[in-house]
Amino acid sequence: MIAFTFSLLPKDKVSEHSASESKEVLTFKKNGTVCGRNLAELSPVTLEKFTPFSSSFRKALHSNYNSEKSSRFTSSRNSVDLSEKELPLRYSLYTLPYLLHQWWYSWLITYMIMYVGSMNLWLKRITTDNKTAASFIQIYGTVQVLSLVIAPIAGLIMDREVNKADDELDPKVRKLKKIKSGFWPMMFTTTCVTAILFARFFDNKAAVYASIVLITLFRSFLIAVSSAFLRIRFPAEHFNRLLGILSTVGACVTLLQFPLFVWEAKAAENVLWVNLFNLICTLIAYLNPLHLVIKPLQEYLIAKESKTNE
CB 95 within 8 A of CB 301: yes
Domain 91-309 sits in CATH at 1.20.1250
Residue 8 CA to its chain's centroid (Å)? 66
Continuous segment of H or E residues that includes residue 34: strand 33-34
CB 200 within 8 A of CB 122: yes
Domain limits, the chain: 91-309
**pLDDT, position 16:** 47
Which amino acid, 269? E
CA 258/CA 274 separation, integer angstroms: 12
**pLDDT, position 70:** 52
The CA dihedral of 144, 149, 152, 153, to the nearest 10 degrees, is -90
Which sign, positive or negative, has the C-alpha torsion 142, 148, 149, 154?
A: positive
**pLDDT, position 25:** 45
Which residue stretches of the chain have pLDDT < 50? 4, 6, 13-35, 37-41, 57, 61, 73, 75-84
Query: How many Cα atoms sit within 13 Å of 120 on the Cβ side?
Result: 7
pLDDT per position as a tens digit, 241-274: 999 999 999 999 999 999 999 998 888 888 999 9
Buried b (16+ CB within 10 A) or exposed e, 45-55: eeeeeeeeeee
**pLDDT, position 173:** 84
CB 144 within 8 A of CB 244: no
